């Protein structure tokens, strides 16, 4: 009668990939009596020796994903000494890629997980920017890394999305003289708020183009110069009350304005 199969999955990261490979392989057999034992984040020789001291008494095979050369060599040496079948999943793939691209591997554990985490942080930041765009929900202001304020057509939304792709959670609030700003805005440290302003003539041109795109005439108050000056004066007064940094976006591309915001964030972090 066959003894119970034990598969040791040893990894210097999570080990999920190796475990899935093992499950796929085992599924090819009529084998219901097996156990997969996963050992994650193995980073020291002593940990490997402890695992082998247990494995030597089992009817087992060892599958591992190790990128640190010294630990990989130890795994193979101990498997030979213990006469335990061992499969190195990563090395053949890494060696093949190295041969083709003529570049040395980083040999750093957990890189794919770091990339995944970075990706999900970006997705979260983008979803945040969409949810709290244009003052939709003031509850997001206290959760944001940065709050952008300014009159209509001062690049609040494009900047929010650009910064979201840098994993920064951004909320933005439109400034309209007749509409009170959320009270939460006065409860947030001024260094987290960035005011956006622009040249009135430039803003007039942008708003006229916006009206054309919507099929509306230039007579709308939205593009009226007196109205624009009123809005900018109101916004300027509010930004002074909030004592927040102000960026003139008149002649700046989104990337340029974003870099200024990032620099402000870096300076604020340095002053903590």
User: Residues annotated in the binding site for ADP, as ranges?
Assistant: 150-157
The neighbour count for residue 107, using CB atoms within 10 Å, is 15
Residue 194 phi/psi, 5-degree rounding, is -120, 125
- Please enumerate, by residue number, every residue annotated as part of a binding site: 150-157
Quick one: 141 exposed, middle or buried, by C-beta within 10 A (0-12, 13-18, 19+)?
Answer: buried
Task: Measure the CA angle with vertex 155, ends 151 and 156; round to 5°.
Answer: 70
- Bridge partners for 6 per DSSP: 35, 60
Q: How many CA atoms lie within 13 A of 178 on its CB side?
A: 1
Q: How far apart, in whole angstroms, are the C-alpha atoms of residue 110 and residue 117?
A: 11
> Residue 264 class from Cβ within 10 Å (0-12 exposed, 13-18 middle, 19+ buried)?
middle
The pair of structure tokens assigned to 103 is 């570049």
Give residue 147's region: left, alpha or beta (phi > 0; psi -120 to 50): beta
When computed from its CA atoms, the radius of gyration of the chain, rounded to whole angstroms, is 29
Contact 64, 12 (CB under 8 A): no
């Amino acid at each position: 009668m066959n003894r119970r199969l034990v598969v040791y999955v040893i990894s210097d990261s999570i080990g999920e990939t190796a475990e899935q490979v093992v499950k796929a392989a085992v599924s090819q057999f009529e084998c219901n009596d097996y156990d997969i034992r996963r050992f994650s984040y193995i980073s020291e020789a002593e940990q490997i020796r402890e695992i082998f001291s247990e494995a030597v008494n089992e009817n087992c095979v060892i599958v591992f994903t190790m990128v640190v050369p010294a630990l990989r060599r130890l795994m193979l040496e101990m498997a030979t000494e213990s006469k335990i079948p061992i499969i190195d999943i990563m090395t053949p793939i890494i060696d093949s890629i190295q041969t083709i691209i003529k570049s040395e591997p980083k040999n750093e554990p957990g890189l794919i997980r770091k990339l995944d985490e970075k990706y999900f942080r970006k997705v979260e930041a983008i979803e945040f920017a969409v949810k709290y765009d244009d003052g939709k929900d003031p509850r997001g202001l206290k959760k944001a890394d940065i709050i952008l304020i300014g009159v209509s057509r001062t690049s609040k939304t494009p900047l929010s999305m650009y910064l979201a792709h840098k994993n920064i959670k951004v909320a933005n609030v439109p400034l309209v003289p007749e509409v009170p700003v959320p009270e939460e805005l006065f409860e947030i440290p001024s260094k987290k708020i960035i005011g956006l302003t622009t040249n009135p003539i430039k803003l007039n041109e942008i708003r006229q183009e916006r009206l054309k795109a919507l099929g509306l005439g230039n007579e709308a108050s939205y593009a009226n110069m007196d109205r624009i000056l009123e809005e900018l004066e109101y916004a300027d007064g509010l930004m002074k009350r909030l004592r927040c940094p102000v960026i003139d976006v008149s002649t700046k591309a989104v990337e340029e304005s974003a870099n200024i915001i990032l620099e402000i964030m870096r300076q604020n972090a340095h002053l903590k």
